[in-house]
Every structure is written in C-alpha cells, then in structure tokens.
A and B are shown apart, each in its own frame.
Chain A
Amino acid sequence: MTVAFRNVSKVFADGTLALDGLDLEFDSGEFVVLLGPSGSGKTTACRVLAGLEQATSGRIEVGGRDITDLPPRERRMSMVFQNYALYAHKSVHDNIAYPLKVRRWPRAEIDSKVREVAALLDIERLLKRRPRQLSGGEAQRVAVARALVWQPEICLMDEPLSNLDAILRLQTRTELKRLHGELGTTFVFVTHDQEEAMTLGTRIAVLKDGRLEQFDTAHEIYHRPAGRFVAEFIGRPAMNTIDGDIEDGVFRSGDFALPMPGWAPGRAVLGIRPEHIVLHEEPSEGTVAFRLDVPELVEPDILLFATCGAVPLVVRTKAERIDLQRGDPLYLEFPVDRLHLFDPQSGARRT
C-alpha cells in the first residue's frame, strides 16, 4: 500500500502558500520524517494528510484510493500533537480508551487493548491518574498510546518531542524507533530537528517553501544532497559552500583556488562538509593554505573557523589540535570524492 501526495497545494485564507505542488510517495510500514525549517510546509503537509486541513488543489491517495475529501475519522490515521492534547477531564485510562469507545469497540476488548498498549509504553501505573498529574514525558507516552491503541494504518506525529527536555527527548526518540520496529505501523513524523530526522526516519522528506527538495534515506541526504538547500540545511555545522568559477580544471573564488581536473567550466558552487576537510601540519601538494580566525572546542571535536582571502570556511576535526592559535596557518586538503558541486542559479546538484 502506498501513501501519495499528488501535486498538493494549500493556500490559507490569508494568502499564505503553505504547500506548492507537493509530490511525495511512500510505502506502508515506513518511518517517514518531514523535515524543514519553519514555514516549509511540513506541518501543513501532515495536517492535510490527516484531513485536518483541506488541500486547495491536488490529491491525497492511500493504497490507490483518493481520500482528499474524506473527514479525519474515515482516514484510519491517528495523530500525536505537540502539546499532547489529552482530555483533561478524563483519566489516563479513558484518554487511551477514547478512540476505541468512539469507534464502538466492545467494552471487554477496550479494556484489554488499553492494558496491552499501556504495557507496551510502560505506563500501566499511570492509568488512574489525570493528565494534569503527569510529567511532560508521561503525557507524551499517553498521547502516543492513545494514537496507537486502535491500530491505525498511519500514525502522524507533529513535532511530538519538542516540548520535552533534552535527555527525555533522546529517550523518547529511541522508544519511538523501538515501537516502530515492533508494530510495523506507518509513522509520519514532523520535525525541524535534523538529528531527530536522521536517527528516526527510514526516509526523510526535506521540504522548503512548500516543495519537496529531496526524499531519501539519511545516508543519501547527508552524502548526496540533491541541492544547495539540503546541503546547507543538513549537518552541524552546515556544509561549506563557496561561490566561484571553474576554468581550465581549476575552481577559483578570490584567492581560493582548487584544482578540479575534468570538471566542466562555468560558474559553480563548491560544497564540502566541515568534517570531510583534512587538516595537514605542513603544506604539501593538494593542500590550500587558510588562516585560522576562531577555534571553537566542541569536545571531542574542534571547529576551526578559517579564511583564505575573503573565502570563509569551517573545519571540524578531532580536538587533538587545541594548540592552534588565532592567526595560525592551516593547510587544508579537499578530498575529491567528498566534493559537491551545485548550480549557482537553481541550486541543483551537478554531478
């Protein structure tokens, strides 16, 4: 069974174009992450899929069936909200049981289902409490339990971890991954946190301005970004990108020159990740001299912010070189197989 956005656009009443012809297709059982900066349309995409927002144009299909006009309750999807949206006047047990109750499951079955999912999420001891007696992490688990209890085809999660503190966020992340493995339910997870996206998603859809930039595995998105935007959005710190020209097999930008034999001439954007640049102690063939501006220790790594003329660059390397001072020369090697080249106009990848 496939889930598909077909040329879906969404224009809000105030004229905001949230989705601009989104095309996206994935299979059931996947853990799809919608990733993008704020305003990229990732939450809107999730809500259009849920039926909470109506697409302005285009179609949503599940297993070949057009569900664009179906109300949320007929879509066999559940949702976990950022603020959990638990029913404050119901106990935890009744919160989890609610989707079953509304769907008129037999009473005996409701009870056993609630206990089953509570055991799965390790919240059995909370069943009698009220939502306001729960910590953020506990409320989160209850919200997830409520979303999974009736075994929907797709479980949507709209930034479910962003209200949790850092440690809890890591734990819950691992937990979600485990749940996905055990249940095999399709998860669609919205986040602006690339680390969350990279660790959770079987595939990641990177969105920008309501359009799909790239839909691929974390590995591909990191190693073969489809365009300049994805390249600069993924990675910490961001990928270095340098605007310049290729002429006679040499990439130039101001004082910076890098031999790139065999590349087509013309204007180009060169990209390389900070952690892929190799730092040498002595100048040698194939290294370019930079000058260190600011060293920043991020144990166990060190970030070196350097310039070559007007070209700024950041290098990420092991923190063995804490002896480096401002103004020291850096001899940097740019391994050819780590270089990316993008079109300066469209930002698209050039191979």
Chain B
Amino acid sequence: MSRGWRLAGIAALIAVLVIALTPYVWLFMTSIKSRLDALADAPVWLFTPTLEHYPKVFLDKAYLPLVFNSLVVAGTVTVLSLVVGVPGAYVFARHRFAGKEDLFFFFLTTRMAPPISVVVPMFLLFGYVGLVDSRTSVILAHSTFNLSLVVWMMRGFFEDIPREIDEAAQMDGHTKAGMFVRVLLPMAAPGIAATAVLCFILSWNEFLYALILVAFESRTLTVGIPGLVTPHGTLWGQVAAVAIVATLPIIIFTFLVQRHLVRGLTFGAVKG
C-alpha cells in the first residue's frame, strides 16, 4: 500500500473514532462536571472536575445493588440462553426431522412481535406463579428472546464445521455427548463468544421487560436511571455517572472475549 493510501486510511480511522467516541467522552465529562457546568448554555470544556456524583448516586441513593442486579440478570440470561440454545442450534445444524425449518422460523417469529404486546400477558403470568418483582422473572423474560438469538447465530457456526468432524470424533473414541462437549464446543468457541457478548448486551440494555416486571428490590440499572429524572429537574451528573458505570461490564466482557469475537463476527467472511 502506498504512503498516501496509508495516511488516508489513518485519517478515516480517526474520523470514525471521533464520531464513535465523542458521545462517550461527553458522557464521561458530564459525570465529573458540577451541576452548574453541566447545564451551562455554551459547552464548558475546561472545568474543575468533581467526583461528587458517583458516591451520591451509588451510595446515598443506593444504586449499587442495581449494578449487582443487572450483572446477575445479564449473566444468568447469557448462561441460560447458551446452555439451552447451543445444543438446540447443533440439532438444527445436523439433524433432519419433520417441521425443522418451520420450528426454526418459529424461533425467529418470537422476536417479530413488538415486546409491548407480550409484556402485559407476561406480567399476568408471572403474577399467577408469584414471580413478579423478582430477578427470576426478568431472567426468564430476557431468555425468551435471547434463546432465539442463540439458536439463529449458533446454527450457522455449527454448519460451518464439517459433519465429518463429528464422525471422526466418534471414530476416535468419543460418545456422542463427548464429541459435542470435547470437540465441537471448542471448535465453535469463537461463535459462542460472539453470541455470548450479544446476549449479555441485549439483556444488560433491556428496559421494557425489566421496567414492567420488577418494582423496586430487583430493579436493573436501566430501570434505575429514569428515577433520576425528578420533578425538580434531571440530575444529569448522576445520570451520566450511572451510565458510565453501566458501560463498564460490557467493555470488560468484550475485551475478555475479543480474541474470539473478531473471528466470530467475521466467521463466514474469512472462510475458504
């Protein structure tokens, strides 16, 4: 590549980075601005940073348990969806049975209905079984739509692994279960990592189900933020502080699996 192209490439990268990062930097700055600076008419770029919002919202207003709730919900949803969805996706990728494609499409249709149309019946159902205002209800609700995501994504990853690998593993001495756990799961690891990140993000960011299904004790972070919109005005500093904390797990999680993620998200593209 010539020098000129290289520079142009770097310039384009910088432009993309600026566009992507500006809101985030702005968010971070708001979280350490005083209320006066945050609401100034002209944006204030130079200010005396303050860390008052963080302890205020997380300790005084007791938002810390909400972080824990969100982590438990998103983590459990991710594990649950993968544990159920990955073997399901394998069956869709490998086996033939009557109505297979219809059933597969049915999984997708669960995502087509607007959530608002499902959430009220779901609230009533959880009410009957006494699960309203529990983390369990949110976990189950999120798992319903994440399961279809897992099945749809992972089927493709399993189909990219030649069927002969299954058979070679059995000839090499594995049972069917051993073949799946010891050979196929490691080979599908990039796909599983990519799917896990998406599952986690979807559940972590979800607002509607969480808002309707939980009241106070088991609120997630997304439900907590609107609580900072008070009749006396929005507490922007605290909103920003919560939002910054809310992005951290996603960033950490993505970094942990990024080695797999790049391969996972480009799996189809680099093949052959």
Residues of chain B contacted by A147 (CB below 8 angstroms):
171
Is A78 an interface position by the 8 A CB rule?
A: yes
Residues of chain A contacted by B168 (CB below 8 angstroms):
79, 81, 85-87, 146
CB distance from A92 to the nearest CB of B (A): 14
Contact A73 B170 (CB under 8 A): yes
Residues of chain B contacted by A82 (CB below 8 angstroms):
164
Taken residue by residue from 182 to 194, chain B's Cβ proximity to chain A (1 for < 8 Å, 0 otherwise) reads as 1100110000000
Is A167 an interface position by the 8 A CB rule?
A: no
Total residues of chain A contacting the partner, CB 8 A: 24
Contact B162 A79 (CB under 8 A): no
In the complex, identify which listed stretch (A98-106, A206-214, A229-237, A317-325) lies at the interface while the others stay far away.
A98-106
> For this complex, into which size category does the number of interface residues on chain B fall?
10 to 19
Is B96 an interface position by the 8 A CB rule?
A: yes
Residues of chain B contacted by A85 (CB below 8 angstroms):
162, 164-165, 167-168
Is B227 an interface position by the 8 A CB rule?
A: no
Whole-angstrom CA separation of A98 from B186 in the bound complex? 14
Whole-angstrom CA separation of A279 from B259 in the bound complex? 72
Is A144 an interface position by the 8 A CB rule?
A: no
Task: Report which of B164, B171, B183 forms a contact with A83, defined as CB distance below 8 A.
Answer: B164
Which of chain B's residues has its CB closest to A50's CB? B171
Contact B167 A79 (CB under 8 A): yes
Residues of chain A contacted by B162 (CB below 8 angstroms):
83, 85
Contact B186 A89 (CB under 8 A): yes
Whole-angstrom CA separation of A89 from B96 in the bound complex? 27
Taken residue by residue from 165 to 182, chain B's Cβ proximity to chain A (1 for < 8 Å, 0 otherwise) reads as 101101111111010001
Is A71 an interface position by the 8 A CB rule?
A: yes
Contact A77 B172 (CB under 8 A): no
Which residues of A are at the interface with B, using a C-beta cutoff of 8 A? 13, 50-52, 71-73, 77-79, 81-83, 85-89, 98-99, 102-103, 146-147
Given A50-B167, A73-B172, 14 more A-B residue pairs with CB atoms under 8 Å apart are A52-B171, A71-B175, A72-B170, A73-B171, A73-B174, A82-B164, A83-B162, A85-B162, A85-B164, A85-B167, A99-B171, A99-B172, A99-B173, A146-B172
- A and B contact pairs by CB, cutoff 8 A, 22 listed: A13-B96, A50-B171, A52-B170, A71-B170, A71-B175, A71-B176, A72-B167, A72-B171, A73-B172, A73-B174, A79-B167, A79-B171, A83-B162, A83-B164, A85-B162, A85-B168, A86-B168, A88-B187, A89-B187, A103-B173, A146-B168, A146-B172
